[in-house]
């Protein structure tokens, strides 16, 4: 569901603890700062004894970004203590706790979460369920995890790994979307909802072809 920006839009403090994973931090931080439509944010990076050159380079690249604050943290890993210390210096009306392994795939993700919070009857808001295509064989329906590819309404010109899907009553989509074949993920079965909609045979055939190319079974 798309929601309009709040007026006024509250300042949101986004807290991200991290340690020596430049591959993760570059994606999560870049997504939060550059691919998020909600702009009234500050980011507190909890620097847990980072000494990896790649992480230090990321820190340096954001030194002059007024939205970003670095909070040094020493000692054994303590996720609660890290977040509490960051919350103590936060300026935002709303606190958002993120791991450093998240990836922004919808620009309105934060707008939607804040709109949920602003309804007034919620103290804590989590991410909304998102549609996905199950690509795992039914023969593995006793497995603890389910292999899926996610949808996005942020459209890209990437025909080798994004399949355009138009909304229909059969697939239940609300807007033109793409299946992200480059975003194959495994989710715990207990956290997955029921299968309620289906792609058309033509869309499934095209998706199978893209998956075959992605995992190296076809050229």
Q: What CA–CA distances, in Å, run from 206 to 41, 46, 71, 209?
A: 40, 43, 47, 5
Residues 71 and 111 in one domain: yes
Classify strands 177-188 and 162-165 as parallel, antiparallel or unpaired: antiparallel
Identify the CA nearest to 55 among candidates 19, 86, 99, 27.
19
Q: Encode the chain (219 residues) as per-residue pLDDT tens digits.
A: 344 555 578 899 999 999 999 999 999 999 999 999 999 999 999 999 999 999 999 999 999 999 999 999 999 988 889 989 999 999 998 889 998 988 888 888 898 888 776 665 444 445 555 678 888 888 888 888 888 888 887 788 888 888 899 999 898 888 888 888 887 888 777 767 777 788 999 999 999 999 998 888 777
Bond preceding residue 24 cis, omega within 30 of 0: no
pTM confidence score:
0.61
One domain, residues 77 and 34: yes
For residue 28, report the phi and psi dihedrals to the nearest 5 degrees.
-65, -45
**Which of 23, 76, 79 shows the shortest CA–CA distance to 53?**
23
Range of the domain at 204: 132-214
Question: How many domains does the chain fold into?
Answer: 2
61 plus 98 within the same structural domain: yes
Note whether 180 and 150 are within 8 A (CB). yes
């Amino acid at each position: 569901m798309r929601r309009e920006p709040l007026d006024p839009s509250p300042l949101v403090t986004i807290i991200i603890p991290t340690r020596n994973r430049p591959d993760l931090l570059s994606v999560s931080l870049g997504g939060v700062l550059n691919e998020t439509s909600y702009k009234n944010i500050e980011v507190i990076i909890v620097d847990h004894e980072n000494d990896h050159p790649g992480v230090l380079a990321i820190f340096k690249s954001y030194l002059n970004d007024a939205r970003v604050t670095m909070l040094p943290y020493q000692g054994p890993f303590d996720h609660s203590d890290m977040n509490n210390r960051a919350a103590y210096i936060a300026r935002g009306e709303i606190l958002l706790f993120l791991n450093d392994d998240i990836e922004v795939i919808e620009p309105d993700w934060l707008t939607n979460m804040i709109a949920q919070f602003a309804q007034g009857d919620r103290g804590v808001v989590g991410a909304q369920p998102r549609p996905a295509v199950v690509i795992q064989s039914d023969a593995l329906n006793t497995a603890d995890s389910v292999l899926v590819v996610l949808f996005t309404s942020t459209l890209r010109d990437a025909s080798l790994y994004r399949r355009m899907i138009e909304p229909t009553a059969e697939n239940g989509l609300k807007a033109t979307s793409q299946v992200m074949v480059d975003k194959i993920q495994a989710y715990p079965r207990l956290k997955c909802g029921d299968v309620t909609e289906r792609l058309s045979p033509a869309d499934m055939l095209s998706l199978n072809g893209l998956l075959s190319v992605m995992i190296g079974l076809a050229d």
